[in-house]
Amino acid sequence: MTIQPAKLSDPAVRAFVNAVNAHDREGFLALLAPDATMSDDGSDRDLADWIDREIFSSHGHIDVDNESRGGRALVARYRNDTWGEMNTRWSFTVDEDGRIARFETGQA
């Protein structure tokens, strides 16, 4: 059963999912801490390159199935034009200003 983005517990994660699903690159970037980092399947990636390739140029979309850790860990079906749909896990570190300092994703 999908959790509607508006029902996600953590405000930063809720905004992240909404920005991805709305293809709102500017809004997405505003959610990130200035020195934000990320990893995909356990390997650190170049954030700007990854989000362009995996989210914005390929029409990424997140359907959240489960959340834990106060909303900062998700299990979701992620799809984009490059890879189709896959089961993924997402983990977020949110800084004291409420911005995403790091996110980690990979296949679930």
* pLDDT, tens digit, 9 for 90 and up, residues 66-103: 999 999 999 999 999 999 999 999 999 999 999 999 99
Task: Tell which residue, 81, 70, 77, has the closest CA to residue 91.
Answer: 70
Domain residues for the domain of 47 are 5-107
Q: Which contacts qualify for 89-97: CB closer than 8 Å, 24 or more apart?
A: 90/13, 90/62, 92/10, 92/12, 92/13, 92/16, 94/10, 94/12, 94/13, 95/33, 97/33
- What is the number of structural domains in the chain? 1
pLDDT score of 46:
98
Task: Give pTM, 2 decimals.
Answer: 0.96
Handedness of CA 9, 73, 46, 61 (dihedral sign): negative
At 81, which CATH number?
3.10.450.50
For the chain, give the mean pLDDT: 97
